[in-house]
A and B are shown apart, each in its own frame.
Chain A
Amino acid sequence: MTDETAVLSPSAVGPERPAAEGGGRGRPGQVWRSRRYRWDLRWSPYAFVAPFFLFFAAFGLFPLLYTGWAALHQVELTNPDGMTWVGLRNFTRLWDDAFFWNALRNTVTIGLLSTVPQLAIALGLAHLLNYRLRGSAFFRVAVLTPYATSVAAATLVFVLLFGRDHGMVNWALSAVGFEAVDWQNGTFASQLAVSTIVIWRWTGYNALIYLAAMQAVPGELYESAALDGASRFQQFLHVTVPSLRPTIFFTCVVSTIGATQLFGEPLLFNGGAGATGGSDHQFQTLGLYLYEQGWVNLHLGRASAIAWAMFLILLVIAGAARLLRGRKDSR
C-alpha cells in the first residue's frame, strides 16, 4: 500500500489535485476521468486476483468449512443429507481411538523414515548435479523421472520387489546370507518398504529444487573458500548448505505436508486388504484411516473429524517450526 501511493503521488494524483482544489475550475470530464483512473488503480488488482479467490472459495475454503461442519455431525455415506448434530463427539472419541493413535504414530515414523533420507540424498544429488559434467541435462531429467511416474505404477513395481516369496529384495538378501524378510507383515519392515517408495519418488524432485537454489549461490563464495583451502566437501558443508537454508526449510515444510497426507503408497502397498494398512494396521497412515472411516465404513462425520485433526496437526507443526526458526534467527 505505502509503495503504491508513493509511486502514484508524483505522476498521477499529484498534478491533478491542485487543479481540483482550486474552487472547481477543472472540467467535470477531467475529474471523472481521474476518479475512474484512481478506481482503476485501486480496484483492478483485486479483479485480477479475484478468479483465484473465487475458485479457492469454491474448491478450497468451502470444502474445508463444510468438512468442519460435517465433523460436528453424525453423517453416513448411505444418507449424506441426514446429519445429526453431535457436537465435538467425533473429536473427543479420537482421544480414545487406538486406531487413530496407531495411524498417527505410523504417519510420524513413515514420515521421518522417508523425509530425512529423502532430503539428505536430494541435497547430495543436487551437489553432484551442480558440477560441470557431461550430459548434465540428461541427468537432471533422469532424477525427475520417478516424480513423473504415477504412484500406482511405482508402487506396483515396488510390491513385486518386496514380495515375500518371489520378491527381488528378498532374493538379494538371501544371496548375501540374510534371512528373507516378510515386508508386508513386519511393522518396521513394512514401514521401511513404504518409505522406500516415497523416497524413490520424491528425491529427484527435491534435488532439482536444491539445484536451482545452488545455482543462485554466488561463485565468489566458492572461490574465496577454495583460496582458503577448503575441500569440495568443506565447501558443500560451509558454503552450500548455509546458503540453501531457506530452500531446505521450504522442502522440509512441503515434505512434512506430503508425509502427513501420505495415502497412495501405503494403500497400494497392501496387496489385498485395501485401507487397513496391513493385517495389524502396521502401516495404516492417517490418510488411510480417514479413507477407511469415510469410504469403507461409510462414516463421513468421523472421517471429517480425522481430516480436521490432520489439519490441526499440520498447524501445530507449522507453529512449532516458526517458533524454532524465530529463536534461531534472534540468536
Chain B
Amino acid sequence: MRVRSRSRARSRRALVTTVAAVATAALLLAGCAQDPDEGPGRGAPSTGTSGGARTTLTVGVFGAFGLQEAGLYDAYMAQNPGIRIEQTSIERNENYYPQLLTHLGTGSGLADIQAVEVNNIAEITATQADKLVDLAKAPGVDKAAYLPWKWAQGTAPAAKGGATVGLGTDIGPQGICYRKDLFEAAGLPTDRTAVGALWAGDWNKYLETGRTYKAKAGEGKAFVDSASGVMAAVTGSSAQRFYDDQGKVVYKTNPAVRGAFDLAASFATGGLSAKLQQFTPAWDQGFSNGSFATVSCPAWMLGYIQDKAGPAGKDKWDVAQAPKPSNWGGSFLVVPKAGKHAEEAAKLAAWLTAPEQQAKLFEKRGSFPSASAAYKLPTVSGAQHAYFGGAPIGEIFAKAAEGVPVTVVGPKDLVIAQNLADIGMLQVDQKGRSAQEGWEAAVKAIDNALDQ
C-alpha cells in the first residue's frame, strides 16, 4: 500500500514530491473553486443535482497509499451521492506522522480520516486513544473479518479504555523476489517452487544460497540489495521484536533481534550485498540494472519493483515463498474526534477497510488485505501477477500472512527499527564496520533516542 511504508527517509525525491504535492493540492483547490458543478461559492453547501447538502470528507495519507488510485473513493461517492472525498498526501511518513501528532495535540488541521503506519500504531493507541473515535462501534465493522493480531494492534490497552481506534488496511506478508535470468546463469533453479525450497524454513539457508550464488555468479553481482532489507524481513518473522508483552523495551537482549542483525550483517561482510540503501535512487537503479538477484519483498513492494525495473524486467522477475512467514509494514485508518464529520468519517473508514474493498486494493495495487475474510474472495485467492511470470501471488502471500506470528508492537518501534537499519546495519553494509561495531553504534543511537 505504501511503497514507502518502511518509514525511512526516501528523502530528497520525497521532499520535492511533497512540495509538488502541496502545490498541486493548492492548484486543485483553486480548480475546485471554479468548478461549475460545485455551484456558487465553494464553502456553501451545494444545492446541486443530488438535492441535499453535500458533506466533504478529507482523508490524510502518506506515500502512494492506493485508496484513491484503486478507485475506492469514486466507488463510495457513487454509492453515496451526498459525500465527497478529498485526499491529502504527504510522501514520507517521517514528515506525515509528527504533523499528525501536532494536529491531534491542537485538535485542528486534522483530516476526517487519517492513516497511521504500523510502526506508529502502538504509540497512537497508547497516547492518543482519547482523541480518536472507537471504530469497533462504527456501522459495518466486523471484528471477525480481520486477522486477530491486526485487530489487536489497532486497539488501545485496557488501561486506556480499550477502544479500537485503528482499522487495519493492509499488511505486508513477505516473499522473496528474485531474478530468474541471474539464477539461471548461476546454475540455480528458476522455478518458484524449487527456489522456495532452496531456503524453506530457515533464514540461514537463504544465506547459504547466497554463498552458492556468489561462488558461481562472479564479481560485481550481489545476491541481495541491502543487508537492512534482510534484517527487516528476519525481524518480521518473530513474534517478539523490540518490546515484550509487558511493554518493556527488550531489543538489546532479545536474541531474535540480535540474531537477525548478525545474520543480515553476514550478507554484508560476505560480499553478498549490493550495499544499497533502500528507497534511494541508487536502489531504484539497481532494479533496472540487475545489480542484485534477490530482495525480500512484502506484497506492497511488487508494484514498486515493476515501476523501477520497467518493461525490460518483465519475465525476468519472479516471486517465491520466503524462508519463514514474515510481515513488513501495513497501515491503519483512524478517525479523530475533532473532525467535523466524525460519524460519516467512521462509516467511510469502515467501508474502506471492509474485506471487499481490501480485496480490490490488492487487485489494483498489490496491498495485501488485513481482513482475512478477503482471502477467500476470488480476486485474492486467484490473483496472479503478470509481471512476475504469472506468479500466484494471492496464494503465496496468503500462506505467508496466515503464518505470520502475532507481533508485539511498541510505541517506539519506528525509532528502534530506523536506527538499527540506518545507523547500525548501514555502517556494516556501507562503511565496512564489523557487526559488533554496527550493533553498538545502533544501541547508542537508540538509547539516546528513547531517553526522554
Contacts and interface: CB of A to CB of B under 8 A. Distances in A.
Interface of A: 74, 76-81, 97-99, 150, 152-153, 155-156, 159-160, 163-166, 182, 184-185, 267-276, 279-281, 292, 295-299, 301-302
Contacts of B449: 292, 296-297
Interface of B is mostly: helix
Given A74-B452, A272-B9, A279 B422 contact: yes
A77 B9 contact: no
Contact of B441 (A270, A280, A296, A301): A280
Given A156-B12, A296-B449, A298-B101, A279 B282 contact: no
A271 B418 CA distance: 14
Interface in B418-452: 418-419, 422-423, 426-427, 430-431, 441, 444-445, 448-450, 452
B34 interface: no
B306 interface: no
A13 to B, nearest CB: 53
A185 B105 CA distance: 38
Residue of B98, B415, B441 with most chain A CB atoms under a 10 A cut-off: B98
Given A271-B281, A272-B279, A156 B430 contact: no
Nearest to B126: A78
Contacts of B430: 182, 184-185, 279
Q: Is the interface of A mostly helix, strand, loop or mixed?
A: mixed
23 contacts: A77-B98, A78-B128, A80-B102, A150-B19, A152-B19, A156-B16, A160-B281, A165-B282, A165-B285, A166-B282, A268-B12, A270-B9, A271-B277, A272-B280, A273-B9, A273-B422, A273-B423, A274-B9, A279-B431, A280-B423, A295-B98, A296-B449, A299-B452
A170 to B, nearest CB: 12
A218 B402 CA distance: 83
Contacts of B123: 78
Given A78-B101, A99-B448, A274-B92, 10 more contacts: A78-B123, A80-B105, A185-B431, A272-B280, A272-B422, A279-B423, A279-B441, A280-B441, A296-B415, A301-B452
A273 B277 contact: yes
B423 to A, nearest CB: 6
Contacts of A279: 422-423, 426-427, 430-431, 441
B11 A268 contact: yes
A281 B282 CA distance: 20
Contacts of A80: 102, 105-106
B15 A166 contact: no
Contacts of A275: 9, 94
A166 to B, nearest CB: 6
Nearest to A75: B452
Q: Which 8 A-B pairs have the closest CB atoms?
A: A274-B9, A271-B280, A279-B426, A273-B422, A272-B277, A78-B127, A268-B12, A297-B449
B10 interface: yes
B13 to A, nearest CB: 7
B102 A276 contact: no
Contacts of A270: 9, 11
Contacts of B423: 273, 276, 279-281
B239 to A, nearest CB: 26
A97 B448 contact: yes
Contact of B102 (A77, A155, A160): A77
Contacts of A98: 444
Given A150-B19, A273-B277, A279-B431, A296 B94 contact: yes
Contacts of A74: 452
A267 to B, nearest CB: 7
B219 to A, nearest CB: 15
Nearest to A160: B281
Contacts of B106: 80
A153 B9 contact: no
A150 B422 CA distance: 27
Interface string B279-302: 111110100000000000000000
Given A77-B101, A150-B19, A152-B15, A297 B415 contact: yes
B169 interface: no
B84 interface: no
Nearest to B127: A78
A77 B11 contact: no
A261 to B, nearest CB: 18
Contacts of A159: 12, 281
Contacts of A166: 282, 285
Give the one of A97, A99, A182, A268 with max B CB within 10 A: A268
A272 B10 contact: yes
B114 interface: no
Contact of B16 (A152, A185, A276, A280): A152
Given A76-B452, A77-B105, A185-B430, A153 B16 contact: yes
B8 interface: yes
Nearest to B17: A152
Given A267-B11, A279-B427, A274 B282 contact: no
B358 interface: no
A275 to B, nearest CB: 8
Contacts of B282: 163-166, 271
A274 B422 contact: yes
A152 B105 CA distance: 29
B237 interface: no
B278 interface: yes
Contacts of A79: 105, 127
B15 A276 contact: no
A155 B12 CA distance: 7
B13 A276 contact: no
Contacts of A77: 98, 101-102, 105
A80 B277 CA distance: 34
A166 B427 CA distance: 21
B275 to A, nearest CB: 8
A247 to B, nearest CB: 33
B127 A156 contact: no
A278 to B, nearest CB: 8
Nearest to A155: B12
Contacts of A97: 448
Contacts of B279: 272
Nearest to B106: A80
Contacts of A164: 282
A299 B102 CA distance: 13
Contacts of A156: 12-13, 16
B53 to A, nearest CB: 35
Interface string B363-395: 000000000000000000000000000000000
Contacts of B281: 159-160, 163, 271
A321 B282 CA distance: 44
Contacts of B280: 271-272
